[in-house]
Structure 1
Amino acid sequence: MIPARGSVLDGRFELLGRLATGGMGEVWRARDLEGENEVAVKVLRVEFAGQQQFLDRFAAEARNAQGLDHPGIARLHQHGEVDGLAYLAMELVDGEALSDLLRRRGTLTETETLDILQQSADALEIAHRAHVVHRDIKPGNILLTPGGRVRLIDFGISVGAGQQAITAPGMVMGTAQYLPPEQAMGNSATALGDIYALGVVAYECLAGRRPFTGGNQADIALAHVTETIPRLPDEVSDGVAHLITDMLAKDPAQRPATAGIVARRAADLRSRATSAPGHLPRRGGHQRRSDWTANRPRGVREATSRAPSEPQTRPSFVQQPPKTVASRNGVPRRVAIAVALGVVILVALVTVLALALGGLGESGGATNGVELKASIAMTDRDGTIERVG
């Protein structure tokens, strides 16, 4: 079966139009013929039909998402396989990605940022209690509805407790601009990594730029490990700055212990801030949801899952000058880490060559001349970085 407009999956989901295409899959707007409502359907690309490693990825996403019941997480309705093509049918959310809002407005107010932070952390707490780590928290995976609600989407590279590894040992998966330092060094993804990534998102909302950048994805990942967090704008209150700084601690043990703690701190700060000039007032003892949909283009509707490698525009800004940190043996820490990463990437390249010669491709496919393949992929399109360590 080749997915096309009018195709019906499993006799239930009629494909109406393609929303996004990526290296591994496509996302379609579809009609659920049983419920007569519209859904988002993520379908494996035809060229990967029947390939077990891709089927396993879809199955893992389904397992991790199906047990998450929270208004801040897009619901998974059904998953299945037709003629070797795995698919996921999900809630179609009427909303705008935070990444689009930031492109449109540049920065958000403290109240808006705290609202998004609180709701996102509440949703993450539910995932983490279910022992699911998202691994790809970023503005593009946070949807904002016209009613002021936040929805987390795309559990495509999430990992669950006891889940058998789909990727090679030591592989780092995520988006370089939001990659926790410990994952950049090849350590396993944990809930504390999601908290770090959400801290990067909050920083970006207030500063209008990400805290770390570089000439390529490896440089950006390295900056997360070695660079000092640039100071937030002076107008950011001390309490909010402290929360974000805590979330961005290099040592995971120094971050808030749970996403629930982040949500409570954000709620407390928002409660205290709502009476300040430029912030939304409290009404009837309840905090009003942020009106981030003002000036939003009409007719915007986002799928609940973005296809892998979906293009996203990244703002450009001046790279922070590197700081040299001496290690115990006198060798600058940045140099030591750079050498280590260089060895890792060399090993990855050898692995890629071997896999390519063997005809394997883990996240394969080509988009605009950038081939996402095997064990390492660094792109300038969406910042996704994969490497073997």
Structure 2
Amino acid sequence: MDTTVADPLVGRVLDGRYRIESRIARGGMATVYTARDIRLDREIAIKVMHGHLAADEDFVRRFIGEAKAAAALSHPNVVAVYDQRTDGEHVFLVMEYVPGRTLRDLLTERGRLGPRAALEIMQPVLAALGAAHRAGLVHRDVKPENVLITADGQVKVADFGLARAESDSKMTKTGLIIGTVGYLAPEQVLAGDVDIRSDVYAAGVMLFELLTGRQPHQGDSALSVAYKHVNETVPAPSTAVPGLPPQVDALVTRATAHDPARRPQDANRYLAAVAEVYNGLPRDFDQRLAAQAAQPRNVTAVLESPPAAPPAGGTRVMDRGAAPGGPGPYGDVPPPERTAADRFIGAITGKYVLIAIGAIAAVILGWAVWYQTSGQYEHVPDRIVGTRLAAATKTLQDKGLVVRRGTSVYSDRAPKGTVARTDPPPGTRVAKGATITLVPSRGRTPVAVPDVAGKTEAEARQALKDKGFSVGDVSRQGSQTVDKDKVVRTRPAAGAKQSPDEPVDLVVSTGMSMPDLRGMNADTAADKLRAMGLDLKITKRDDSAQPPDTVLEQSPAPGTGVSGGDEVSLVVNKKDCLIGDFFCKDSSDQNKIPVPGVLGQPIDQAVQAIQNSGFTVKVRTNIGGKVVGQLPLPGTTADRGSEITIWG
């Protein structure tokens, strides 16, 4: 973490929402910080543009456009862009925070990678670039510094499209080359022309660097490196690392062709080629290549003796270019005669040289075989990640290794209950009896549960599936505010984070419960149903055994779930209306229904309850989010369809 100087932004809250916590790094275009989104309570990364760029109106305009394009790019190997904001003189980008290290850090630590390890990293990088290329977005700055690797090995590419805003700004139109010069395609150097094939070139250069530990073109200045990109081809990586197979060389040389038309035409096609070569290499190829590199040089060269000097006082001199017995610088000189003793000594010497060579070769071969097959050593299996814990434990124990279980971690590569990673990592050569730590996977990285309240069960299932979740238990309960067969809530609640490997439960509304109205005064029953937002149909029938004007029958039956707008049929005991009869009402009162009480309820819930009761609603103010007053007052009656005013 870059903490060399105090940073005035640390501790500040940008745009009233993002609290800067610490500085991660500072580059030529921006400074990157860790921050906290205090509204959503999540850790994020913020990239704040340098002041001289933020003051350039053209840059800011292009930067905002590129940020929008990058935000629309959704891919598991792309660092997500959440927001773009301006706070005073600060122009900044809000991004996903990816804890871990960069590919540059990994290269610095290891020097270089084996071909399988390099191609394994290149595949998610190219998948991310391929998603951008499908969307018409060019990265423009592919390099190890922009590739992030999480603790569980997930690879993510950052800074999509942002180099364009800088390269197009008026501050870079004076001939200055923007970007990291070691990865620039020839057309980018010569004319500033950039398309998706320029990203492919940079990816090929990066693959060369992963395989060899250095960039293909070196120079004392950026200008000299740029000159080499234009005038020299990228060499095959096997020229620097003997033993690399030709198909790996071809991946680099084809991607870095000077003519863009001869390269793979986008990252997806390059990915297909990389995957094919990766799948064709033996799983232990990197280990075999490393063992080969560790072996001593060819002993034949060491055993060769320098040519003997001519004997003192000798008079015969032969031109090395002349044939034996042919003309030399001193005329025709016959070749020296070999005596029987000479021939015997030569035969003996040659015999022992061959014996020595054979003996040393046998020792080297035996050492290599012992290294690979000695009963004292084992290798952590390559395929153990993603294996069930019980099976992985048995595999290692069968090899004479001790197994220890580590703390579970989330992993997007290993399903829940399988091995997310090992310590030491797969492929490592260890002594028998060594301890191998298996780190179990807790499932995929938690994501927010989507809000599906008010949706049908089918719609809710699809929305959850789109986010990677499955549906667990589905329970049903009555609700006065949510219509029948619509989702009331989820467990866990909407917005809570949960691994997609864990199911989400649904609670579905059975609607309002139909009350038992039988024997109730017909007017009272009608008012109750209208307050529930139900449509009413009344028929009359004479029944001398029952009190007049009471409900004889109802449909739906008591306890049935109903929703606002459903029709309810009542059969009422018929009676004549006599003057002064208590049960006779003025026709003007027939449309009066009770006003529901919504004080203290959330505004949205109150609006729904009022509408379900047969009224319209007007929200006058909404400050605190809950109802603090209403007119008409609760407990009074008002005309069906009239307006009730609330404020919060």
**Equivalent residue number for residue 244 of structure 1:** 252
**Equivalent residue number for residue 70 of structure 1:** 75
Task: Render the CA deviation track for 1:63-91: whole Å, top value 9, x for unaligned.
Answer: 23111100111001111111132111101
On the 8 A contact 2:233/2:257 being kept in 1, the answer is: no
Structure 1 unmatched ranges of 5 or more? 295-389
Aligned-partner residue type, residue 278 of structure 1: D
Q: Determine helix, strand or coil for the equivalent of 2:130.
A: helix
Q: Determine helix, strand or coil for the equivalent of 1:134.
A: coil
**Equivalent residue number for residue 111 of structure 2:** 106
Aligned-partner residue type, residue 155 of structure 1: F
On the 8 A contact 2:19/2:37 being kept in 1, the answer is: yes
Higher RCO (CA 8 Å, separation ≥ 6 residues): 1
**Equivalent residue number for residue 188 of structure 1:** 193
Q: Determine helix, strand or coil for the equivalent of 1:137.
A: coil
On the 8 A contact 1:119/1:150 being kept in 2, the answer is: yes
Cα–Cα, structure 1 residues 81 and 246, in superposed 2: closer, same or farther, change >3 Å? same
On the 8 A contact 1:7/1:14 being kept in 2, the answer is: yes
Cα–Cα, structure 1 residues 113 and 22, in superposed 2: closer, same or farther, change >3 Å? closer
Cα–Cα, structure 1 residues 171 and 45, in superposed 2: closer, same or farther, change >3 Å? closer
Identity of aligned residues (%): 35
Residue 239 of structure 1, CA deviation: 1.2
Range 198-207 or range 263-272, more displaced: 263-272
On the 8 A contact 2:56/2:169 being kept in 1, the answer is: no
On the 8 A contact 1:122/1:259 being kept in 2, the answer is: yes
**Equivalent residue number for residue 40 of structure 2:** 35
Task: Render the CA deviation track for 1:234-275: whole Å, top value 9, x for unaligned.
Answer: 221111111111111111111011211111111122112143
Task: Render the CA deviation track for 1:98-134: whole Å, top value 9, x for unaligned.
Answer: 1111111110011111011111111001111111111
Matched, 1:9 2:110: no
Structure 2 unmatched ranges of 5 or more? 1-6, 288-380, 388-412, 415-419, 426-648
On the 8 A contact 2:236/2:252 being kept in 1, the answer is: no
Residue 10 of structure 1, CA deviation: 1.6
**Equivalent residue number for residue 124 of structure 2:** 119
Aligned-partner residue type, residue 166 of structure 1: S
Cα–Cα, structure 1 residues 52 and 221, in superposed 2: closer, same or farther, change >3 Å? same
Aligned-partner residue type, residue 89 of structure 1: V
Q: Determine helix, strand or coil for the equivalent of 1:107.
A: coil
TM-score, with length taken from structure 2:
0.42
Equivalents in 1 of 2:244, 2:55: separation in Å? 51
Task: Render the CA deviation track for 1:17-51: whole Å, top value 9, x for unaligned.
Answer: 12223444321110111221111111233566554
Aligned-partner residue type, residue 95 of structure 2: M
**Bigger Rg over Cα:** 2
Cα–Cα, structure 1 residues 292 and 11, in superposed 2: closer, same or farther, change >3 Å? farther
Q: How well do the aligned residues superpose, as a CA RMSD in angstroms?
A: 3.0
Residue 213 of structure 1, CA deviation: 1.3
Equivalents in 1 of 2:215, 2:126: separation in Å? 19
**Equivalent residue number for residue 254 of structure 1:** 262
Cα–Cα, structure 1 residues 172 and 147, in superposed 2: closer, same or farther, change >3 Å? same
Cα–Cα, structure 1 residues 293 and 66, in superposed 2: closer, same or farther, change >3 Å? farther
Residue 277 of structure 1, CA deviation: 3.7
Aligned-partner residue type, residue 281 of structure 1: D
On the 8 A contact 1:58/1:87 being kept in 2, the answer is: no
Task: Render the CA deviation track for 1:164-221: whole Å, top value 9, x for unaligned.
Answer: 9434397642211111011111141110000000111100111111111112111101
Correspondent of 2:169 among 166, 176, 179: 166
Equivalents in 1 of 2:422, 2:226: separation in Å? 34
Matched, 1:281 2:382: yes
Task: Render the CA deviation track for 1:125-163: whole Å, top value 9, x for unaligned.
Answer: 111111111111011111112222211112364449xx9
Aligned-partner residue type, residue 141 of structure 1: N
Cα–Cα, structure 1 residues 169 and 125, in superposed 2: closer, same or farther, change >3 Å? farther
Equivalents in 1 of 2:157, 2:274: separation in Å? 17
Residue 57 of structure 1, CA deviation: 4.8
Range 181-190 or range 192-201, more displaced: 181-190
Equivalents in 2 of 1:25, 1:164: separation in Å? 14
Matched, 1:211 2:216: yes
Aligned-partner residue type, residue 230 of structure 2: V
How many equivalent residue pairs?
Answer: 291
Correspondent of 1:231 among 232, 236, 239: 236
Cα–Cα, structure 1 residues 180 and 23, in superposed 2: closer, same or farther, change >3 Å? closer
Aligned-partner residue type, residue 382 of structure 2: P
**Equivalent residue number for residue 373 of structure 1:** none
Q: Determine helix, strand or coil for the equivalent of 1:278.
A: helix
Aligned-partner residue type, residue 89 of structure 2: G
Range 8-17 or range 50-59, more displaced: 50-59
Cα–Cα, structure 1 residues 284 and 219, in superposed 2: closer, same or farther, change >3 Å? closer
Cα–Cα, structure 1 residues 129 and 292, in superposed 2: closer, same or farther, change >3 Å? farther
Equivalents in 1 of 2:161, 2:197: separation in Å? 19
Task: Render the CA deviation track for 1:333-377: whole Å, top value 9, x for unaligned.
Answer: xxxxxxxxxxxxxxxxxxxxxxxxxxxxxxxxxxxxxxxxxxxxx
Cα–Cα, structure 1 residues 235 and 86, in superposed 2: closer, same or farther, change >3 Å? same
**1:120-139 superposed matches below 5 A:** 120-139=125-144
Q: Determine helix, strand or coil for the equivalent of 1:133.
A: coil
**Equivalent residue number for residue 52 of structure 1:** 57
Residue 228 of structure 1, CA deviation: 3.1
Equivalents in 1 of 2:243, 2:285: separation in Å? 12
On the 8 A contact 1:274/1:281 being kept in 2, the answer is: no
